[in-house]
Chains A and B, each alone.
Chain A
């Protein structure tokens, strides 16, 4: 146990960076995901096609490859704002199609009668989307969206392999120093991750229950 207590500042430091990656990439992915989802359901077919291709390509690319591109090739192409922003960029791009798909599923999940009713009382496309579809879709979207963020939390660990010092990096560093207590160290690090993921999971479960009552 002393390997954990001694190195607690290292872990806290890593934890802070993990949270930073999660927060920044989460917001970025949300913004990008909303844009992609909007393109994906827009009436203009070329935008739809572009968003579909983007989604399929990014979703089928391994995260390690995306982060490799960010950490090695972007600096080689003379774009190097530092490894932390690069990792945030990679995670943002990688997560955005998953956000977009969750959003789209939510919009698709609103009962078709709702849209018909909105249209039949004379609301326009924009109005029926903002007043009728979206308020319902957003509620339904929150649990799957939280699942995306749980996955993002776990994915931040990959950034640890690309020169960003976060929890996984901290685990690697401390296990190198204290090879005798590997199990304790890794369980400690796992506890930090579980702190985020289980909390988010509980929130998702609660929201899901509330939504279930609404429906």
Chain B
């Protein structure tokens, strides 16, 4: 039964009813959307009596026939992706270092890294960007990269630590028993398993990182958001603001959704248990709550990525 144990398998009457409600629901939702679209498309009279064309009017969209606009947007996308790429490349090793520090046996290493991690995780990324920009006067690109790398490194570090902690204790004991040093036990036995287990969460965090590059807009970096919804409308005029917003939204959704989709594919492929035991995508194994069989059949996807 693909649905759920929460209600009986529907009989012909209930199926009929559910289909009716479903159709009515679809009609209501689509109707509301059509109304919204029509309301947005209707010409409006502004306060001084001038009539503005509706939001779908061709006069609001004609800029997109200009190649230069697409070139600027492309540069914005490249700027966003390069910031996200560099930040991710730094964040991953940083996360590994953080997780080793945090899971260390000696308090001299563990306590300071815990304090640093808590501090970084409790602080807004935006504040960190401003901080780095003002204190180190790095320029907006490196301020954004550094803040994103440190913040996401901390989150990834926590995820890896949770992964290490969730391993059966026998793994570490076995490593030590065959004569490996504590460090090489961690490197060669525990870490590879933790990393594999936490890969979905790590990739979900990389999606968050990609999204968060838009914060660099505030410290003045010309990425997709600044180019698309600030620079271009400033140049072409305010009446295009909405059109540019819709296009930028579509670009962001395309990037993030494809990355999320990739995350799901990788999560499915790398977890051998997922194939053997349950056909549903694997969940955050560190969280006993999510590792349980579920009451509703369907499982949450992508690990609970922090907003």
A128 at the interface (CB under 8 A from B): yes
Residues of A within 8 A of B248 (CB): 65
CA distance A181 to B214 in the complex (A): 27
A62 at the interface (CB under 8 A from B): yes
Instruction: Indicate if the CB atoms of A194 and B131 lie closer than 8 Å.
Output: no
CA distance A63 to B225 in the complex (A): 11
Closest A residue to B126 by CB, please name it: A157
B110 at the interface (CB under 8 A from A): no
Instruction: Indicate if the CB atoms of B307 and A186 lie closer than 8 Å.
Output: no
B78 at the interface (CB under 8 A from A): no
B44 at the interface (CB under 8 A from A): yes
B218 at the interface (CB under 8 A from A): yes
CA distance A44 to B290 in the complex (A): 24
Contact of A154 among B21, B55, B124, B304 (CB under 8 A): B124
Interface residues of B (CB under 8 A from A): 3-8, 18, 21-23, 25-26, 29, 40, 44, 46, 55, 118-119, 121-127, 130-131, 134-135, 207, 211-215, 217-218, 225, 229, 238, 241-242, 245, 248-249, 252-253, 256-257, 260, 288-290, 292-296, 298-300, 304-307
Answer whether A144 and B22 are a contact pair too, CB < 8 Å, given A65-B249, A105-B290.
no
Instruction: Indicate if the CB atoms of B296 and A61 lie closer than 8 Å.
Output: no
Contact of B26 among A46, A154, A175 (CB under 8 A): A46
Interface residues of A (CB under 8 A from B): 41, 43-47, 50, 56-57, 59-65, 68-69, 72-73, 76-78, 94-95, 98, 101-102, 104-112, 114-116, 119, 125, 128-129, 133, 140, 144, 147-148, 150-152, 154-158, 160-161, 168, 171-172, 175, 179, 182-183, 186, 189-190, 193-194, 197-198, 201, 215
Closest A residue to B22 by CB, please name it: A46
Closest 6 CB pairs of A and B: A157-B124, A60-B256, A62-B214, A197-B122, A46-B25, A108-B294
Contact of A63 among B130, B211, B290 (CB under 8 A): B211
Most A CB within 10 A of own CB, among B25, B55, B135:
B25
Contact of B293 among A78, A112, A182 (CB under 8 A): A112
Instruction: Indicate if the CB atoms of A182 and B135 lie closer than 8 Å.
Output: yes
Instruction: Indicate if the CB atoms of A125 and B7 lie closer than 8 Å.
Output: yes
CA distance A173 to B266 in the complex (A): 45
Contact of B260 among A60, A68, A109, A129 (CB under 8 A): A60
Residues of B within 8 A of A110 (CB): 292, 294-295
Instruction: Indicate if the CB atoms of A73 and B127 lie closer than 8 Å.
Output: no
Instruction: Indicate if the CB atoms of B300 and A101 lie closer than 8 Å.
Output: yes
Residues of A within 8 A of B296 (CB): 41, 107-108
CA distance A60 to B204 in the complex (A): 11
CA distance A41 to B295 in the complex (A): 11
Q: Given contacts A109-B294, A158-B215, A189-B127, list 11 more A-B pairs with CB under 8 A.
A: A46-B22, A47-B25, A65-B252, A108-B300, A112-B292, A133-B6, A150-B122, A154-B125, A161-B126, A168-B126, A193-B122
Instruction: Indicate if the CB atoms of B306 and A186 lie closer than 8 Å.
Output: no
CA distance A78 to B3 in the complex (A): 44
Most A CB within 10 A of own CB, among B119, B218, B307:
B307
Instruction: Indicate if the CB atoms of B295 and A133 lie closer than 8 Å.
Output: yes
Answer whether A108 and B124 are a contact pair too, CB < 8 Å, given A98-B307, A151-B307.
no
Residues of A within 8 A of B123 (CB): 154, 190, 193-194, 197
CB distance from A151 to the nearest CB of B (A): 4
CA distance A156 to B127 in the complex (A): 11
